[in-house]
Amino acid sequence: MELNIVEKLLMNNPIRALVHRHFEARRLLSLGGKTNGGLALETGCGQGIGVKILQDVFKVQRVHAFDLDPRMISRARHQLRDREDSVNLWVGDVTAIPARDNTYDHIFDFGAIHHVVDWRAALKEIYRVLKPGGRIYIEEILEKYIVHPIFRRILEHPQHDRFNLQEFVQGLQETGFIVRGTDQFMEMYAWFTADKSEPAG
Ligand SMILES: C[S@@+](CC[C@H](N)C(=O)[O-])C[C@H]1O[C@@H](n2cnc3c(N)ncnc32)[C@H](O)[C@@H]1O
């Protein structure tokens, strides 16, 4: 589901970019640590600030990133115009990622999955394209925020079958992930890191 105009204004401004880099990404960094370079995927990349954070803070080498909204991808192309050698952007849906199984070393999601009606299908697709031994870094918005009377009125989110921290952990585990770390703020925002195990033997 694309963002309504209010959420677009909340997402695409310089203050959010600072909070994204210095607060949100730090929570994930303290849970999952830096990467060892490699190829990362970002789902629902919005205007592209997250891609910069992946490279500058998490030390990812190359990034593939997509968003459902073509206008977000236009903004991201402009935002990332000096990184085009290491960044590949497209319009796409997290429930149908155009990549082979086991493609990515790391996968990042900054707040896209709660916009997906079938969020478990998104987790399955992320699991499919992550390499064995790879790690996911997820920041998500919990049900308490989504059903809050004020946010419900001004923002547009799927309302049915949302998740709290424990339900999202269960979704990750049922998909096959090994959950490594969780954190939450006001029971509204949550951070998760989890791994796809290497095949035995
Ligand atoms: C809350 S915004 C976050 C954007 C960006 N990750 C950030 O932190 O600034 C959620 C983004 O997810 C995108 N989105 C929603 N549903 C999606 C889907 N099924 N597949 C890919 N992107 C999706 C929206 O268009 C929007 O850009």
Q: For the segment 33-53, what is each residue's pLDDT rounded down to a tens digit?
A: 999 999 999 999 999 999 999
* Largest interatomic CA distance in the chain: 52
Q: Which atom of ligand 1 is nearest to the CA of 44?
A: 22
Question: What distance in angstroms lies between residue 1's CA and the mean position of ligand 1's atoms?
Answer: 8
Q: What is the pLDDT of residues 74-87, one digit of tens each?
A: 999 999 999 999 99
Report the residue among 24, 68, 94 best suited for mutation to probe ligand 1: largest number of ligand atoms under 8 A from its CB: 68
What HEC string does the chain produce?
CCCCHHHHHHHCCHHHHHHHHHHHHHHHHHHHCCCCCCEEEEECCCCCHHHHHHHHCCCCCEEEEEECCHHHHHHHHHHCHHHCCCEEEEECECCECCCCCCCEEEEEEECCHHHCCCHHHHHHHHHHHEEEEEEEEEEEECHHHHCCHHHHHHCCCCCCCCCCHHHHHHHHHHHCCEEEEEEEECCCEEEEEEECCCCCC
Question: What distance in angstroms lies between residue 105's CA and the mean position of ligand 1's atoms?
Answer: 21
Q: Is the CB of 134 under 6 A from ligand 1?
A: no
**What is the structure's pLDDT at 48?**
97
Q: Is the CB of 44 under 6 A from ligand 1?
A: yes
The pTM for the full model equals 0.96
Q: What is the pLDDT of residues 117-164, one digit of tens each?
A: 999 999 999 999 999 999 999 999 999 999 999 989 989 899 999 999
**What is the structure's pLDDT at 61?**
98
**What is the structure's pLDDT at 174?**
98
Cβ of 121: how many Cβ atoms within 10 Å? Answer: 15
**Residue 161: which region, alpha, beta or left (left: phi > 0; alpha: psi -120 to 50)?**
left
Q: Is the CB of 190 under 6 A from ligand 1?
A: no
Question: To the nearest whole number, what is the mean pLDDT of the chain?
Answer: 96
State both tokens at 61: 């080498």
Which protein residue has the closest C-alpha to ligand 1 atom 4?
46
Q: Is the CB of 94 under 6 A from ligand 1?
A: yes
Report the residue among 3, 71, 89 best suited for mutation to probe ligand 1: largest number of ligand atoms under 8 A from its CB: 3
**Which has the higher per-residue pLDDT, 156 or 188?**
188
**Residue the block writes with tokens 């709290």:** 164
Q: Please say if the pLDDT value at position 200 is more than 80.
A: no
State both tokens at 40: 């990362």
**What is the structure's pLDDT at 201?**
66
Q: Please say if the pLDDT value at position 18 is more than 80.
A: yes
Model confidence band, residue 12 (pLDDT cutoffs 50, 70, 90): confident
Q: Which atom of ligand 1 is nearest to the CA of 16?
A: 9
Measured in degrees and rounded to the nearest 5, phi and psi for residue 33 equal 75, 175
